Structure 1
């Protein structure tokens, strides 16, 4: 999807009305049992218990059914990276619920009948298990002086095996993009190392999807894309959250939250490959950008460890569309992250005025299909 988060693309694509989708609620454990999660030694341990790899039941695995906030057990200042881990835990609840909803909604024959390998449902269960392990890992990374966020209710725009698998690719590739920024937010080397380990697992999930589902070369070139502002990508996932459903004691997600306008490619987009010219569309009528008449704006495209800025003409907007050409210098590999900024290179998050978006290059046809 061009110049808009693919999360938003799927939410607005005609896969299914979000309002009509069934929310994830899970089999909720008691508040008292949930508070036991404050003890890092409570329950199965990720990396030591096969639950997080080879459990094949439909019910939510530990700790996915313990959905309340975990209250602090000590007084004192928050840990150095607590806010970063709180953001990541809130995001992980969304991802876990996404896979758990699929496990509950489908079975092995659902995917076989749609033409996918007979191992697809099993792989989805295994990814669900990995995501449950992430929940527990992230809970344990938050210090005893801070709240561990609980689960909201979530809704997802898929209605069959194919629309679900399309969203799998969107979510997994976007996870890789935001984790490169989240590592930069963390201060402790132990936090950075843990996030790198999680990013490697997400990459394996995406590699499976590209190889088995889309029959696409999974190699993304010499470097995956580095995008520095993780919270901007996380903010787009708020569209999956049922309004008013989050635990009252949950911190703001993500924190800090900019609430930038969402971007979309125009419906007439034919290609999202480097060198293609696309139009920009700001899709939320209640959250539109404000362009100063004497300011030059840029579409900033991040690919690999570099970025390229392309001047755009905003003077006639909204009467006339804004057009931009995706830099032809980029290799047609991996993903491209894009924002609209008031400064070349978008050197700080404050210079970003709209976005971000993830331009999926593998498989590029899927991104166009989701417009």
Structure 2
């Protein structure tokens, strides 16, 4: 099977191969030990301890081995940015566990046999370490009056090194779109600075994947794509969470959650490059968009710092597939985020009725699917 076909199969059926993914293993700390994390000086400190960059063991590094939620230690109102950091911490548990599962499932030889550089497994471990550091940073940025979410159980649609690396690229490239949205949700300048610092690290992961793994140009144009409704992107990651596996004390993820219909491309879509016509598929049969008679609807495509709205015909839905042409004005760089909205430009999150989907433009081998 070609890389393109394999990757398309993974994303067209996001959970089709999860039974083959290995569960997260390794020593887990006790609930009492997790509560010690409420003290920001407990354990290794990101930026000061090399465990967050150059640890090459298989077992989950601190604090990834302490998955219980951390209870508040003080009474009082939540910090002004606590909800944003809670959302990001819950998302970080997903990303950390994604890399941790790969560290456990594969080894250095696995990637070499797949034709990847000799250093690939070590780079995956180092990214895993960075993500563990993000866990700790986000825990310390949530005020002591709010709960700090714990980890759930997760399943991911990879089953060999190539399918894993394809998903790495999608997650790392698309993460820039939701991080730019999350920055807009924070109120404190210190929160904004911290989030940008994290985004810069994620950008390095993205560049490594594009250059070393796919041997492609990493430059994505003059601006990464900014998508204003980060929680809508975070909502799509709930597909990786094993239902019922999250700690009962965890806050809702993401919060607030709209629960919009998921958006993907139909199987007969040939290309997702600008100027191509695509079919829209709402993948969850139990969560379909409701289009009001007489209401105009639009496919809104976000790329760079701009968006373009394209009118769509919904009168035949659901019997007829909705088709739309990706704006030809966009260059084939970076990512395009797409939503269905009832107002041109989707000026508020309430105007979005389905999506978002992320169209990956780089590398060309993987630019096959809207997720």
TM range, smaller chain: over 0.9
**TM-aligned CA deviation for residue 237 of structure 1:** 0.6
1:37 equivalent to 2:37? Answer yes
Equivalent position of 1:314 in the other structure: 314
Aligned: 1:149 with 2:149? yes
Contact 2:22-2:101 at 8 Å conserved across structures: no
Residues 183-209 of structure 1 show CA distances to partners (whole Å, capped at 9, x for unaligned) of 000010100110000011101000000
1:67-78 to structure 2, matched below 5 A, reads: 67-78=67-78
The Cα shift of 1:364 comes to 3.2
- Looking at structure 1, the residues matched to 301 and 208 of structure 2 have their Cα atoms a distance apart, in angstroms, of 27
CA contact (8 A) 2:152 2:247 kept: yes
SS at match of 1:280: strand
Are 2:87 and 1:87 equivalent residues in the alignment? yes
Q: Distance in 2 between matches of 1:74 and 1:48?
A: 27
Shift of residue 20, structure 1, vs aligned partner: 5.0
Q: Distance in 2 between the 1:337 and 1:54 partners?
A: 34
TM-score by length of 2: 0.96
SS for the counterpart of 1:329 is coil
Q: Give the superposition deviation at 1:175.
A: 1.1
What runs of 5+ residues in structure 1 fail to find an aligned partner? Answer: 1-6
Q: Provide closer, same or farther for how the CA distance between residues 284 and 9 of structure 1 changes in structure 2, counting only shifts above 3 A.
A: farther
> Counterpart in 1 of 2:4?
none
**Bigger RCO of structures 1 and 2 (CA < 8 A, at least 6 apart):** 1
Tell me the residue number matched to 2:334. 334
Contact 1:297/1:311 (CA < 8 Å) preserved in 2?
yes
Question: Does 1:177 find its partner at 2:177?
Answer: yes
Aligned to 1:3: none
Pair 1:273-2:280 in alignment:
no
Whether the 8 Å CA contact 1:289–1:353 is kept in 2: the answer is yes
Residue 25 of structure 1, CA deviation: 4.9
Secondary structure at the counterpart of residue 246 of structure 1 = coil
Quote the offset at 1:14 in angstroms. 7.5
Once the two structures are superposed, the pairs formed by residues 58-137 of structure 1 within 5 Å of their partners are 58-137=58-137
| TM-score using structure 1 length | 0.96
| Contact 2:358–2:370 (Cα < 8 Å) also in 1 | no
Change (3 A) 1:333 1:61: same
* Aligned twin of 1:257: 257
Q: CA RMSD in A?
A: 1.6
User: How many angstroms apart in 1 are the aligned matches of 2:120 and 2:206?
Assistant: 13
Secondary structure of 2:367 counterpart? helix
Asked whether the equivalents of residues 346 and 352 of structure 1 are also in contact (C-alpha less than 8 Å), the reply is yes
What residue in structure 2 maps to residue 46 of structure 1?
46
